[in-house]
Amino acid sequence: MSGEMAEQPERLRDLIARTDEVEATVQRVAPRPLLGVSLVARGSSDHAAVYGRYLLEQATGKAISLAAPSLHTLYGVRGDYEGQLAIAISQSGRTPEIVTTLRRLCEAGARGLAITNDGTSEIAQAARGVIDLEVGEERAVPATKTVTAQLVAFAQIAMALGDTPFSRDELEAVPMWVQQVLDDPQPARAAAEALVDASHLIVVARGFLYGAALETALKIKETCSILADGYSSADLRHGPIAAVTRDFPVIAISAPGPAADDVLDLVAELRRRGARPLLISPDEEADISLPQGMPETLAPIVAVVRGQQVARALALALELDPDSPPGLSKVTVT
Share of the chain above pLDDT 90, in %: 93
Percent of the chain whose pLDDT exceeds 70: 98
pLDDT the model gives residue 17: 98
- Name the superfamily (CATH) of residues 175-317: Glucose-6-phosphate isomerase like protein; domain 1 (3.40.50.10490)
Which pLDDT does position 306 carry in this prediction? 98
Reference 15, options 178, 215, 212; nearest CA is: 178
Please tell me the predicted confidence (pLDDT) of residue 65: 96
Please state, in angstroms and as integers, the Cα–Cα distance from residue 167 to each residue in 55, 131, 144, 210, 211, following that order.
Answer: 13, 20, 25, 22, 21
* CATH class held by domain 2-164: alpha beta
pLDDT tens digits, residue range 122-156?
999 999 999 999 999 999 989 999 999 999 999 99
What does the pLDDT look like over 284-307, one tens digit per residue?
Answer: 889 999 999 999 999 999 999 999
Which residues make beta-bridge pairs with 231?
A: 204
pLDDT score at 329: 60
What pLDDT is stored for residue 202 in this prediction?
97
Name the nearest CA neighbour of 115 among 141, 65, 151. Answer: 151
The pLDDT value given to residue 78: 86
pLDDT at 333: 58
Q: What is the pTM of this model?
A: 0.96
Which residues of the chain are under the pLDDT cut of 50? none
Alpha helices in the chain (DSSP H): 2-6, 8-17, 19-29, 43-60, 69-73, 96-107, 122-126, 145-161, 168-172, 174-182, 186-195, 210-224, 233-237, 260-272, 299-317
Same fold for the domain at 2-164 and the one at 175-317? yes
Which residue ranges make up each domain of the chain?
A: 2-164, 175-317
